[in-house]
Amino acid sequence: MKKFKAQSQKLLDLVVNSIYVNREIFLRELISNASDAIDKRRFMSLTDSSLAADFGIEIKVDKTARTLTISDNGVGMTDKELEDNLGVIAASGTEAFKKEQGVKENAELIGQFGVGFYSAFMVAQQVTVVTKKVGSDRAYKWTSDGVEGFDITDAERADAGTDVIISLKPDGDDDKYSEYLESYRLTTLVKKYSDYIRYPIRMMTEMYTEDRQKADEMTILNSMIPVWKKQKSELGENELDEFYKHTYRDYRDPLYNIMTRVEGAVDYTALLFIPSEPPYDYYTKDYKRGLSLYCNGVLIMDTCAELLPEYLGFVRGVVDTPDLALNISRETLQHDRRLKAIANGLEKKILSELDKLLKNDREKYEKIFTQFGKAIKFGAYNNFGADKDKLKDLLLYYSDKNKKLTTYKEYTAELKEKAPVLYACGETIEKISMLPQLEVARDKGDDVLYFVDPVDEFVARMLEEYDGHKFENIASGSEEVKTEKQEHKDLLKRIEEKLKGKATVTATDKLKSYPVCLAAKGDVSLEMERIMQAMGGGVKAERVLQVNMAHPIILGMENLTDGAFDDTVTVLYNEALIAEGYKTEPEFLAAINRLLAGEQKPAANKSATKKTAKKNEE
Ligand code: ADP
């Protein structure tokens, strides 16, 4: 006996032990494999007519033997293919498998790379596959109990194709398997999951095996109409969701689907889905963006990237058009005018649906935006902002005042004419909400939008303004206040000298309970500096230490000895670094320790504290 590869074994365990609560889907998986195998043979038969056949899938039940057989006349498999295909799980899948832990993730994973064939072991105590490859005269039998390994032996089969024979597990107290021997149950399952399969699926009960003609009339279970060709009224409950889950190997329902039929310069039907989460490889170069392209129900291309703008790469689905030549090559397709027209139509349609959701089903839109908003933001930024105007109203940002997501339209509706759109950057909502600069904005009643994605500020720069309102980073140093008092000027200068070029120093009125904060002046914000450095660029922000001249610590600094003054500047500068999410400098700890030990006089002195307290009361 050959053993399953180690990873397969683990996975088998997961499957068999019912991570798929939904056992019944095994039938869908096997039928879909059968259909794929027929697709392959049909494709070959286009150039070799000897391979043509009356294609179809048969389901046979033997109640006495407790077996259920799914047969197809597709390509079949050689002994090598049997071993490779049914003994191993795709390498990419195993990689992902190794990384993930915990049942939920594993369940997800199974959905993602589709255990397909293995799902048979949810109901089978043994699976036998008898198969003969097209053009070969040898047939093989693969058997396995799904636990340790499998055997491959020679076998007999009249024609090319594959039989998958399932010996059902015995019924237990809670688990019943006999239902899969009942034709009404199987019929329901085929209708539910496999109705659109393009080849006839027949149920071969004993009664009909004799009379083939009658069998054909009586027993074709599926309508064979692709879901996207059906009228709304013809669609079964959840049929679109089921189609999505099965086609894209996702165990979760899609968040949204769009069905559109267009007649005009180019006719087409499209069925589009927005997944509930990005697929696991979405942010890798392995992810294949695009829609399946059909010509009158015949698949021409699996993932046609030209049908979607890059920023809508998360949308999945199908386009069917009668207007393309079947034998069109990939290269010609790329330049095809009709294809471009379809792509434009789809982009408009998807954006208008998103806009509709934003207006009528905010909760759903926010769900979609939470998952895929980043892609839309990149869309607004990429290509020098070519698409920014059609996307800007779809963007959502967390509002400091309302503690929920808001659009630019909603935000600016509350602004006075020409007042800026205020924003603050940071890694998370929580971190931004603690930025020192926010206090004064809040006191003034100003709302501030949170930019948590690195791309956000780039998009704002690209937009330049929204409806006459310019964008302003609350941590930007350009709005410095001029301090007139000579002693303030002297103090700022003294702090700046101590910082030795690490930052310039200005007074600010944006702070309240914090003595200092870090900002940037000029074109490069702190956030941008971080992003560019992460990308390997050497761009530097011009750092500014903004000082709250009314703060007791600052007021007390004049009276400090030189040593204490220096340590205080070090501590303040590092405090500003921390608030912005930076690492501290090495000298920070020593400075704190000296101040705490009272080796040097601490910063605040009494008279200064009183002065500010009074000032705050006013
Ligand atoms: P997937 O279908 O996602 O590739 P499966 O585990 O369902 O994964 O099947 C693994 C492989 O086994 C298929 O890709 C196919 O090459 C082969 N296979 C499965 N069922 C059949 C069948 N009925 N006829 C021919 N080949 C099949």
Whether 452 and 542 map to the same domain: the answer is no
Nearest to 71 by CA among 61, 86, 53, 57: 57
Q: List the CATH number of the domain containing 239.
A: 3.30.230.80
Measured between alpha carbons, how far is 462 from 384 in angstroms, rounded to an integer? 8
Taking CA atoms only, the protein residue closest to ligand 1 atom 23 is: 34
Rounded Cα distance between 75 and 36, Å, is 9
Same domain, 289 and 360: yes
365 confidence band (pLDDT: 50, 70, 90): very high
Its domain, for residue 523, covers: 486-597
Q: Which of 43, 85, 112 to mutate to test the pocket of ligand 1 (most atoms within 8 A of CB)?
A: 85
What are the pLDDT digits (tens) for 300-324?
A: 778 899 999 999 999 999 999 987 7
In this structure, of 161-175, 274-288, 499-513, the range with the lowest mean pLDDT score is 274-288
Report yes or no on 27 lying in a domain.
yes
Q: What is the mean pLDDT of residues 534-548?
A: 85
CA–CA distances in Å: residue 538 to residues 523, 529, 532, 580: 14, 8, 7, 19
Taking the centre of ligand 1 as the mean of its atom positions, its distance from the CA of residue 448, in whole angstroms, is 54
Q: Which helix (H) or strand (E) holds 79?
A: helix 79-87
Residues contacting ligand 1 via CB (< 6 Å): 29, 33-34, 37, 72, 74-77, 85-86, 114, 116-118, 162
- Specify burial of residue 83 (Cβ count, 10 A radius: 0-12, 13-18, 19+): middle
Helix (H) or strand (E) holding 504: strand 504-507
- For the cut 60, the answer to whether the pLDDT of residue 464 exceeds it is yes
317 phi and psi angles, rounded to 5 deg: 155, -160
**Mean pLDDT within 398-412:** 97
Residue type, 361: D
261 in the same domain as 156: no
Mean of pLDDT values over 351-358: 98
* Residue 85 CA, ligand 1 centroid: distance in Å: 6
pLDDT, one tens digit per residue, over 18-74 is: 444 578 878 988 998 999 899 899 888 888 999 999 999 999 999 999 999 999 999
Query: What is the pTM (predicted TM-score) of this model?
Result: 0.68
- Which residue, judged by its Cα, is nearest atom 13 of ligand 1? 85
- Per the structure block, which two tokens stand in for 502? 């690490």
Asked whether residue 466 is domain-assigned, the answer is yes
Instruction: Give me ligand 1 centre to Cα 118, in Å.
Output: 10
User: Which atom from ligand 1 is nearest to the alpha carbon of 70?
Assistant: 23
Tokens of 457: 């500020």
Better-scored residue on pLDDT, 179 or 9: 179
User: Which atom of ligand 1 is closest in space to residue 72's alpha carbon?
Assistant: 23
Are residues 464 and 491 located together in one domain of the fold? no
Q: Quick one: pLDDT band at residue 139, thresholds 50, 70, 90?
A: very high
Task: pLDDT band for 529, please (50, 70, 90 cuts).
Answer: confident
431: CA distance to ligand 1 center in Å? 49
The atom number, within ligand 1, closest to the CA of 161 reads 24
Q: Which candidate, 170, 164, 61, places its Cα nearest to that of 117?
A: 164
Question: Cα 417–422–424 angle (5° rounding)?
Answer: 175
Strands 449-451 and 504-507: unpaired
Q: Does residue 118 lie in a domain region?
A: yes
Q: Distance, CA 522 to ligand 1 centroid (Å)?
A: 59
Distance 120 CA to ligand 1 centre (A): 12
Mean pLDDT of 515-523: 89
pLDDT at residue number 601 = 56
Where helices occur in 88-205 by DSSP H, the ranges are: 91-99, 103-113, 183-194
Atom of ligand 1 nearest to the CA of 40: 25
Number of structural domains found in the chain: 4
* 444 in the same domain as 406: yes
> What does the pLDDT read at residue 422?
96
Do residue 197 and residue 233 come from a single domain? no
